[in-house]
Amino acid sequence: MTKEVLLSGQSRDGLYVLSESSATSLPQAFSSTCLSTSADVWHRRLGHPSPHILHLLVKNKKVSCTSTQFNFHCPACPLGKSSRLTLKTTGHQTRAPLDLIFSDVWGPSPMLSSDGFHYFVIFVYAHTKFIWFYPLVARSDVFAIFHQFQALVELQFSLKIKSVQID
């Protein structure tokens, strides 16, 4: 609210890294006027630091914590650390554009998107693995979306789709 600089530091690969030295140094960048909160809330607020760093912040009174339990489960951390798996070979050989398109529909989503979508459909061009993604309000919208997709790619490539493989 005061627009006062709380802490400055070096960025590494576009991120400001919390290290042991920043957790034990003098500036109180993580001080809060609000009541003490749980470790998992501080973990989310501070950009998911490791339990070791969070423990140092509490120990050095940089943040006030209602619990000393640092072994909570954070569903976002493993997702953020995962890497994309390579696509397996399908055994299909494509020799020309639009020889083969794969498609899959996902849903219903356990959470409604901000735009009101419950389902999602993807179309994957087998030759290049290029993906088109379409959100859907209802599963019954797939056929209409496929016609839109078909018109788009057939106009773009000036060719007809030869085959589509769906789940």
One domain for residues 19 and 69: yes
In a domain, 1, yes or no: no
- What secondary structure letter does DSSP report for 114? T
Residue 55 belongs to what domain range? Answer: 11-81
One domain for residues 106 and 154: yes
pTM: 0.47
pLDDT in the model for residue 90: 60
Angle at the Cα of 106 from the Cα atoms of 85 and 134, rounded to 5 degrees: 95
pLDDT in the model for residue 32: 47
pLDDT in the model for residue 33: 52
Task: State how far the Cα of 50 lies from the Cα of 45, in Å rounded to an integer.
Answer: 13
One domain for residues 23 and 61: yes
In a domain, 25, yes or no: yes
Q: Give me the tens of pLDDT residue by residue for the chain, a chain 167 residues long.
A: 677 766 666 777 766 666 666 555 554 444 445 556 778 888 887 888 888 888 888 888 777 777 767 677 787 777 776 666 665 666 667 777 788 888 999 988 888 888 888 899 999 888 788 889 999 999 999 999 999 999 999 998 888 998 888 87
CATH of the domain at 119: 3.30.420.10
Residue pair 124/130 in contact by the 8 Å Cβ criterion: yes
One domain for residues 155 and 117: yes
Strand 119-125 and strand 130-136: the pairing is antiparallel
Q: Which residue type occupies 127?
A: H
One domain for residues 106 and 152: yes
Residue pair 101/160 in contact by the 8 Å Cβ criterion: no
In a domain, 34, yes or no: yes
pLDDT in the model for residue 120: 93
One domain for residues 76 and 119: no
pLDDT in the model for residue 166: 84
Residue 156: name the closest of 125, 126, 129 by CA.
125
Residue 162: name the closest of 122, 126, 132, 120 by CA.
126
